[in-house]
Structure 1
C-alpha cells in the first residue's frame, strides 16, 4: 500500500523540481491521509 504513495511523492517532486525542500513538501503531502487517520483514532 505504500508503493502508490512513493509514486505520488515522485510525481510531486517531478512537477515542483528537484530540491530538498520540494522533496520534503512531497513527503508531507503524501503523509497527510496517514496523519489524519491517526488524529481520528485519538478522538
Structure 2
C-alpha cells in the first residue's frame, strides 16, 4: 500500500506541475497580445 500511495502522490504532483505550466502559458499569452496590438496601432 505504501508503494501505491507513493505512485498516487507522484501522479498528483505531475498534474499540479502540468496545471502550473498551462497557467503560465495563458498569462504570457495574455501579456503578449496587448503588446502586439499596440505595435500594430503605432
TM-score by length of 2: 0.37
Q: Which has the larger radius of gyration?
A: 2
Q: Point out which structure has higher relative CO (alpha carbons under 8 A, 6+ apart).
A: 1
TM-score by length of 1: 0.36
